[in-house]
Copies of this chain bind each other. A is one copy, B any other.
Amino acid sequence: MDELAFHRWLRSEWPDKPGMLGIGDDAAALCCGPVTVVCTDSVAEGTHFVSGTDPVLIGRKAVARNLSDLAAMGAEPLGALVALILPRACPDALPQKIMRGCRQELEKTGADIVGGDTTTHEGGIVVNVTLLGRPMGERVIRRDGARPGDVLAVTGALGGSGQGRHLAIAPRLAAARELVQLGPPSAMMDVSDGLLLDLQRLVDASHCGFELDAALIPVHADAVALPGDPLERALSDGEDFELIVALPAERWAHLEGAWSRTIPLTRIGSVTTTGQRILRAGAAWWPGSTGHVHR
């Protein structure tokens, strides 16, 4: 399929909607409200998926990673731009399959594709997605708002996402919505590079420390099935796309009681004034194989 035919297909599949100028012009135009929340993220062959991966799943992953970023800001998705950078020789149906995957993931949320770009190059498949949205509540939830004494909690279970879960991400938009409604967290972010590294980013941004109780960390069955220490995997494997949440300790009991989502929200530790500590079997412990620096 040549470029003109692909563009015709795009315009027939994605006609303009009321109040929105979508695919087919130099840019898209949409009503986001006073504050636009926006993120961008790329997936590349050999880095985020192996060669031969179903292109529908590539599209879904490219969108889902961005949905997870918006969820972590306490923001709802409104529209996506999909930029395809494809090998010069690729199967005719490849771009459409990627676009279908993007749409499948978006339409669960009520959002859709509003624009994009396609080019070719000498490398493998690269899909970049930019997602626009608006805050779920009165403001976005930043990662720099954690305060000493805050409870630290995570959604779901961590580790072993390479077993296949990294291609079937479940962005935590509904959990984020409930967190915002029950009184917004002090800080929130998603786990893309592993709980430990991402938690370090959150407390660094907030100028605080943390203490984790190893026994409380929800380890995914996928991590247990793999060789190595499942706890280390839960701390370091990454691509979990769960939410890390910090919130005032006095609100924890109410939140835990009111929580209505199927996905669990688990207390794993607390924010401290300084330092980074993990308690395991009553003693200070730090993973040996992660490459993360213990400060």
Partner-B contacts on A (CB < 8 A): 21, 24-48, 69-70, 72-73, 75, 81, 83, 85, 114-117, 119-124, 126, 128, 130-133, 135, 140, 142-144, 189-190, 205
Compute how far the CA of A130 lies from the CA of B120 in the bound complex, rounded to whole angstroms: 18
On whether the beta carbons of A85 and B85 are closer than 8 Å, the reply is yes
Residues of B within 8 A of A40 (CB): 81, 83, 115-117, 128, 130
On whether the beta carbons of A85 and B190 are closer than 8 Å, the reply is no
On whether the beta carbons of A27 and B39 are closer than 8 Å, the reply is yes
On whether the beta carbons of A42 and B117 are closer than 8 Å, the reply is yes
On whether the beta carbons of B37 and A126 are closer than 8 Å, the reply is no
Residues of B within 8 A of A48 (CB): 119
Compute how far the CA of A45 lies from the CA of B15 in the bound complex, rounded to whole angstroms: 32
Compute how far the CA of A244 lies from the CA of B224 in the bound complex, rounded to whole angstroms: 61
On whether the beta carbons of A38 and B27 are closer than 8 Å, the reply is yes
A41's partner among B73, B117, B126, B142 (CB-CB below 8 A) is: B117
Residues of B within 8 A of A43 (CB): 119
On whether the beta carbons of A121 and B121 are closer than 8 Å, the reply is no
Residues of B within 8 A of A119 (CB): 42-44, 47-48
On whether the beta carbons of A70 and B27 are closer than 8 Å, the reply is yes
Compute how far the CA of A24 lies from the CA of B117 in the bound complex, rounded to whole angstroms: 26
On whether the beta carbons of B69 and A189 are closer than 8 Å, the reply is no
Residues of B within 8 A of A117 (CB): 39-42, 128
Tell me whether A85 and B126 are in contact in the complex, defined as CB-CB below 8 angstroms, given that A29-B73, A38-B115 are known contacts: yes
CB distance from A106 to the nearest CB of B (A): 15
Q: Which residue of B lies closest to A46 (CB)?
A: B122
